[in-house]
Amino acid sequence: MYNAISSNIWKSFALVAFFVALITGIGYVFAHALESPAILPIAVVVAVISSVGSYYYSDRMVLAVSHAHPATREEHAHLINSVEGLALAAGLPAPSIYVIDDPSPNAFATGRDPKHAVICVTTGLMEKLNRIELEGVIGHEMSHIKDYDIRLMALVAVLAGTVVLMSDWMLRSFWFRGRRDNRNGNAIFVLLALVLALLSPLAATVIQLAVSRNREYLADAEGAMLTRYPEGLASVLEKIDQAPEPLKEASKATAHLFIANPLKKADGFLSSLFSTHPPVEERIRRLRTM
């Protein structure tokens, strides 16, 4: 666990450095391709702001796009009591608790560290789970908080989204402004700009997948150790996997944060290859062999 915490802290710094370099590189290439020097400083500013913003405000951004609202003791007393009890057992400060009004069962944790952590669940999750199953979900999310997965995954969500938006904006700028003759010899930069615009979002997606998949198995195991009942989480994963409806408030940028893939499941090799989560069947098998 301590190795995981140390690794995630360093990975967070490395991730920020990579995305700053990637966004700056995109800006440099497009500045030459469009013969507009102003694009490069704009790209640098965007990279710095998105990095700082993702560190300090990624939890607020994720909660905002998910349309989550704070849980109240009047409506969600059982949820709040379960979170506070497991936080005490895990030796963590009690995280803030939010709810998404959606019938699809799911949950996620976010924040930059255990002192600024948030656990968010859907109303569908609370309606479909019993007390032991709910504790299994919370134990899983507590593990993400304790291991600093929340910082790493929130950074990925915001920075990857920034790369996608910036690539799309620059590609549109290229089509509107880049059709003039390349008499100044910038054809190489035009080609590089097109390649970056097309491949940068793919690179950001691959990073999301690599970060998310590896962390889920560990969080499952640590969550089961915290609750002392692996079957509780295994049963939850079965219910989420069998739920027919996707989570309406989820997107490709935030899907990797959830305990299970919140988007509509698709079959096939490519779908599994680019899934944000490891196979549910394998996660359940591992839990039931503990």
Which residues participate in catalysis according to the annotation?
A: 141
Cβ-contact 43, 24 below 8 angstroms: yes
And the tokens for 48?
A: 């710095």
Cα angle 7, 12, 16 (rounded to 5 degrees) comes to 150
Tokens representing 195? Answer: 């390649």
- What's the burial of 164, exposed, middle or buried (CB within 10 Å: 0-12/13-18/19+)? middle
Distance CA 109, CA 35 (A): 43
Q: Give one word for 133, left, alpha or beta, with left for phi > 0 and alpha for psi -120 to 50.
A: alpha
CA distance 286 to 278: 12
Instruction: Quickly list H helices, 112-265.
Output: 123-128, 131-146, 149-177, 187-227, 230-242
Here the tokens at position 247 are: 């989570």
